[in-house]
Amino acid sequence: MSAPNATNLYHFKVQGVSVEGELSKVWLTRSTAKYLELLLGALDASEVSKAIGNYIPSTHNNETESNFSSAEVHIVVPLLIREQSYEKLRTLFSPIIDEYMFQQLAINLGESK
Residue 7 domain-assigned?
no
What residue ranges in the chain does DSSP mark as E strands?
17-19, 23-29, 76-82
Residue 8 domain-assigned?
no
pLDDT band of residue 12 (cuts 50, 70, 90) is: low
Domain count, the chain: 1
**Model pTM greater than 0.95?**
no
Q: At what angle do helices 83-92 and 45-54 cross, to 10 degrees?
A: 40
Share of the chain above pLDDT 70, in %: 73
Rounded Cα–Cα distance for residues 72 and 109 (Å): 24
Which range marks the domain in which residue 23 is found?
Answer: 17-111
User: How much is the mean pLDDT over the chain?
Assistant: 79
Residue 101 has pLDDT above 50, yes or no: yes
Residue 103 has pLDDT above 60, yes or no: yes
Residue 57 domain-assigned?
yes
Contact of 84 with 21, CB cutoff 8 Å: no
pLDDT value, residue 70: 42
Contact of 66 with 96, CB cutoff 8 Å: no
Give the tens place of pLDDT for each residue, 32-61. Answer: 999 999 999 999 999 999 999 998 887 654
The separation between the first and the last C-alpha atoms of the chain, rounded to the nearest angstrom, is 43
